[in-house]
Structure 1
């Protein structure tokens, strides 16, 4: 079985999960399960395994990333369109129609699927793959239960496959739930990461030499990040510098200890820049220490828009005095007085350094500088958690339960470059 899936190009370290999915969806004479819930951390192979398996078995499916679905209408109309394409392809008597059919709600979808299925084989399959399915909870209390029971409501052979990074217990609805079949994708261990990275290895150096390098590399970075894409990107960049003394003839290929001493300073610099692990702007000139080029690095900082605005709010809260908030952010403040202090504000703030601030103050500044409707608290907390994880924010004090305090650790150059990337002038809001 392992050789068969390796030949198909599927992940050889997910054989147990692949076999379970094959048993559930591949048999032609059995009814599909109404829903399958697949969960695990990011970069654990969920989307790749599911889509590759459906492609390999030539099963019709429609795939969505729920982060990109801005309206439930878009989701429902795409499901209806895909089913019409699959049914018209299998039915000789049904003419294929390219006319767009509107579908406003779940009841419309159920009724139209029933009408389209008349005269068509009821066993024809359709899979609905929903990535980041936890976002469906924001579309209404009825949407997720209906998708889980779509095959029961329509009488068709439809299976909803939900992919998520959170466990099923975090999904909640008041009524109508039908528990799906759950399948867990665990994080990759060190040996599995090495096997995956070696599959895409393409260099003049022997594969055993590269495996030895990966073992040393993961002894340092496996505890910092287990995101496969981050590790792959950084491992390939540092490997160029690792091989530089071999190219120049300074160190032999079999002198592993000397190569390790050569690469240790580069690894330390990369560890200090933890939030740039997945970026493309590591200065990787062979023979020179790894560094971050300020101008390019900050504009390419891989953060969503609201995370960048939260970073702006955190920097302002950390460098402005709380007494100046009304003067700086109030629309009714004296504009002449505000312009008077702007000339000396930047220099004084850089000298004074960051100061601790509360979460409520940061959120108040966030909504002052960002003209948007009130966002869900859990979404903002997840963005704050990410900024803490990449060391752009840091905690302050011991009482993080009752009165959490934070400090913005981003430097002035970084904040200015990020603000330019979103057309936001942060300098005029810095107050001494």
Structure 2
């Protein structure tokens, strides 16, 4: 057990979860549980631990990200075809000649899997790993209960593993379904983050020196973000600046207080940038801290409608909803509009971003972008991309019934993007 923890860097901090999963999936000649539900915040090691264990015990599995499936048909066909490939007994040649099968509904999937069960060993284990499984709730009330009972319906030794950031209580439907085995992956605490980051330490400085730096770093950033990937990216970039006065001979390595005073201005600058800095780079000049991110200014490679969506999100996040009718309505009273325009733009920016609904962002988008109504799937794909690059962030837990977002882009970036599309965003910013 210890050697396996050493092989996978994050696993020692997930001892309870790993031992539970091993008891459920590793016993030979036993039927698997019909379903396992694993939940926890992003970057808490859910996908990594599950796939590492399945590969360690050489178990067959297929893995899907449910955000890729825009319909039930695509999801069911992917499961059916992946199962056919994994259960093939004729090797790679059979896999290459395999023709994709169609599947219209859940009943057809169950019947086709039953037919395939006649040609394979029913005790052979297969795992279906569904990431972002909360998306399945949007596909109808039948799909999720059927996937959780797929082994019972087909007679095959199949286990459905659902990975989600949402608790299981949010999955309940009116039809009702059998509850899976639930397993929680809590967020990493400060000591666990330090242990994980120390495992990837490969600089010329000692491990003790790096640990003391991480303690100071997390004392500032642990309250701001607990996303492991963001923390790792920022810690590595700021450590370069932290070591620069040591390399130049200005400060000794054991003078921790002087090193801390040297790095404080950079930490303040990083905190002002928020989530967008995670993909940026700090400058190499010791007296400055500037961003050369691929997300900044006109270097942001986005389609036109994505840039307009970013403009709408920024306006929705910084303007009060009470001023929308006055600012965006063509029939608004000129006196009222002139009064709103006299308010300070600086005051609006300094007040910080506020959460907004998806409908409000779309309303502003169509007000500032005079074009024909676009297909909702196109707009949703652009919103998903803005979320993935941390220009938008979700707000609250109810992302199904009433999704809310918050714009994390800074003012300078938004101004650069607006100039690239000849759009004056400053005149629409009001308190």
Shorter chain as normaliser: what TM range? 0.7 to 0.9
Say if 1:393 and 1:410, in contact at 8 Å, map to a contact too. no
Contact kept in structure 1, 2:418 and 2:425, CA below 8 Å: no
Deviation for aligned residue 1:300: 7.1
1:275-424 aligned at under 5 Å gives the runs 275-280=275-280, 282-292=281-291, 297-298=296-297, 309-314=312-317, 322-327=325-330, 354=348, 362-363=360-361, 364-366=363-365, 368-369=367-368, 371-372=373-374, 413-419=412-418
Aligned match of 1:29? 29
Any conservation in 1 of the 2:198–2:207 contact (CA below 8 Å)?
A: yes
Are 1:237 and 1:284, in contact at CA under 8 Å, matched by a contact in 2? no
1:78 aligns with 2:62: no
Q: Give me the CA root mean square deviation.
A: 4.2
- What residue number does 1:6 align with? 6
How far off is 1:316 after superposition? 6.7
Contact kept, 8 Å, 2:117 with 2:155, in 1: the verdict is: no
- Per-residue Cα deviation, 1:95-127 (whole angstroms, up to 9, x for no partner): 985111101111111010001111321011111
Q: Please name the residue that 1:204 is paired with.
A: 204
CA distance in 2: counterparts of 1:325 and 1:82, whole angstroms: 50
Q: Is residue 266 of structure 1 aligned with residue 266 of structure 2?
A: yes
Cα 1:319–1:373 change in 2 (3 A) is: same
Q: What is the match of residue 399 of structure 1?
A: none
Instruction: Point out the more displaced range, 412-421 or 349-358.
Output: 349-358
DSSP 3-state at the match of 2:415: helix
| Counterparts in 2 of 1:224 and 1:353: CA distance versus 1, 3 Å | closer
TM-score (norm 2): 0.79
Q: Is the 8 A contact 2:230 2:278 kept in 1?
A: yes
Asked if structure 2 preserves the Cα contact closer than 8 Å seen for 1:233 and 1:277, the reply is no
Classify 1:28/1:302 alpha carbon distance in 2 versus 1 (closer, same or farther; 3 Å): farther
* Cα distance change on mapping 1:181 and 1:301 into 2, 3 Å: farther
Aligned to 1:397: none
Shift of 1:86: 2.4
Does residue 250 (structure 1) correspond to residue 244 (structure 2)? The answer is no
User: What do the CA deviations read for 1:65-98 (whole angstroms, capped 9, x no partner)?
Assistant: 111212222211121112212222389xx99851
> Could you list the per-position Cα deviations for residues 377-415 of structure 1 after superposition, in whole angstroms to 9, with x for gaps in the alignment?
xx9xx99xx9xx999999xxxxxxxxxxx9989765432
CA distance in 2, matches of 1:71, 1:418: 33
How far is 1:288 from its partner?
A: 2.3
Deviation at 1:284, TM superposition (A): 2.8
Q: Say whether the 8 Å CA contact 1:312–1:419 is kept in structure 2.
A: no
Count of equivalent residues: 398
- Helix, strand or coil: the match of 2:162? strand
What SS does structure 1 have at the residue aligned with 2:41? coil
Paired with 1:296 and 1:156, the residues of 2 have a C-alpha distance of 48
Structure 2 regions of 5+ residues with no counterpart?
Answer: 396-404
Post-superposition shift, 1:238? Answer: 0.6
Q: CA deviation at 1:195?
A: 0.9
Cα offset for 1:362? Answer: 3.9
CA distance in 2, matches of 1:200, 1:130: 29
Distance 1:193 1:279 in 2: 19
Pairwise CA distance, 1:291: 2.8
Displacement of 1:9 in angstroms is 5.3
With over 3 angstroms needed to count, the CA separation of the structure-2 counterparts of 1:315 and 1:191, relative to structure 1, is closer
Partners in 1 of 2:347 and 2:253 — Cα distance? Answer: 47
Q: Deviations over 1:180-239 (max 9, x none)?
A: 000000110111101111111111111111111111111111111111011101101110
Alignment of 1:148-297 (within 5 A): 148-280=148-280, 282-292=281-291, 297=296
CA distance in 2, matches of 1:247, 1:186: 39
**Cα separation, partners in 2 of 1:420 and 1:13, compared to 1, 3 Å:** farther
- Alpha-carbon distance in structure 1 between the residues aligned to 2:324 and 2:98: 61
Kindly provide the CA deviation profile for residues 133-187 of structure 1, in whole angstroms up to 9, marking residues without a partner as x: 1111011111111111111111111111001111101112121411000000011
Structure 1 length normalisation: TM-score? 0.78
- Equivalent residue, structure 1, for 2:140: 140
Change (3 A) 1:416 1:196: same
Unpaired segments of 5 or more residues in structure 1?
A: 330-336, 395-405
